[in-house]
A and B are shown apart, each in its own frame.
Chain A
């Protein structure tokens, strides 16, 4: 938990606290639950994580400026609770994965244009929701997280930087890496499911 997260900026009355909680925080519970479920990949853990986050948010509601970005504030608390309380207890192969990913990415980058030529937009459009979800869930957590925040939840880079406590440049590069990895996963799924992943031939050009 970073220190600046829960610095009181206001002194709300008891009734104001409940009003803010109901009107500004609770409306985001559906998104919060999905975020928690995608991070923990477990319904019970997601329940606990969302509940802990909301109780924490209420306890420190004086550090929330009424009328500002409640969703980003809540997501940040949830993400920090996850790192502090949940990620630790789950066996964590992600550190190793991350290292592999960096290496993989660098070699891909060296290879230049190979990254996008072998998966077709049409193939992605044919994939089922389950297949897309599985590909996303198969990514190491840091990469999964940026894709959820950006593409599923629609946060801006600036909001993501605040939620994740990283510079915007890191948001950008992590997203880029996440998307390269996701493409690999999608391609693997598509191949297994028998979709055509062959490269588009030159004469197929007439759009």
Chain B
């Protein structure tokens, strides 16, 4: 326990990094975290980066927005009932 761990309002005003010297690797970890594939250690690393690094923060928000767009907004085509019926009847002919 260090004295800093008692967070005061002042501690909230962390100055975030404008440049990330390790951004390509950070983005890989961020994607794994969003995919639910990061280890607890990797998640913790990402969490810390998000708190103090602007490029990582933006990258995270962007990746999350894209992932959600793919999950929720990609057009879904309804499977034709004729296809379902055709498969079922062919199976029973076998």
Interface residues of A (CB under 8 A from B): 18, 21, 26, 29-30, 32-34, 37, 43, 46-47, 50-51, 54-55, 58-59, 109, 112-113, 115-117, 119-122, 124-125, 127-130, 132-133, 136, 147, 150-152, 154, 156-157, 172, 175-176, 179, 182-183, 186, 200
- Contact residues of B with A, CB < 8 Å? 19-20, 23-24, 27-28, 31-32, 35-37, 55, 58-59, 61-67, 69-71, 73-80, 83-84, 86-88, 90-92, 94
- The listed residue (B27, B31, B69, B78) touching A132 by CB distance below 8 A is B69
Are A176 and B58 interface neighbours, CB within 8 A? no
Q: How far is the CB of A49 from chain B (nearest CB, A)?
A: 10
- Shortest CB-to-CB span from A85 to chain B, Å, is 17
Shortest Cβ-Cβ A-B pairs, 5 listed: A151-B70, A33-B79, A121-B61, A129-B73, A121-B65
Would you call the interface of chain B mostly helix, strand, loop, or mixed?
helix
User: Does A113 lie within 8 Å of B19, measured CB to CB?
Assistant: yes
Give the contacting residue for B70; candidates A29, A32, A58, A132; CB below 8 A: A132
User: A34 near B76 (CB under 8 angstroms)?
Assistant: yes
CB <8 Å contact, B31 and A176: yes
Of the residues B36, B55, B61, B66, contact of A117 by C-beta under 8 Å: B55
B74→A117 contact, CB < 8 A: no
Chain A nearest CB, measured from B44 CB (Å):
19
In the complex, are the beta carbons of B35 and A33 less than 8 A apart?
Answer: no
Looking at the assembled complex, report how far the CB atom of B68 sits from the nearest CB atom of chain A, in whole angstroms: 8
Q: Given the complex of chains A and B, what is the CA–CA distance between A26 and B87 in angstroms?
A: 9
- CA distance in complex: A200, B57 (Å): 13
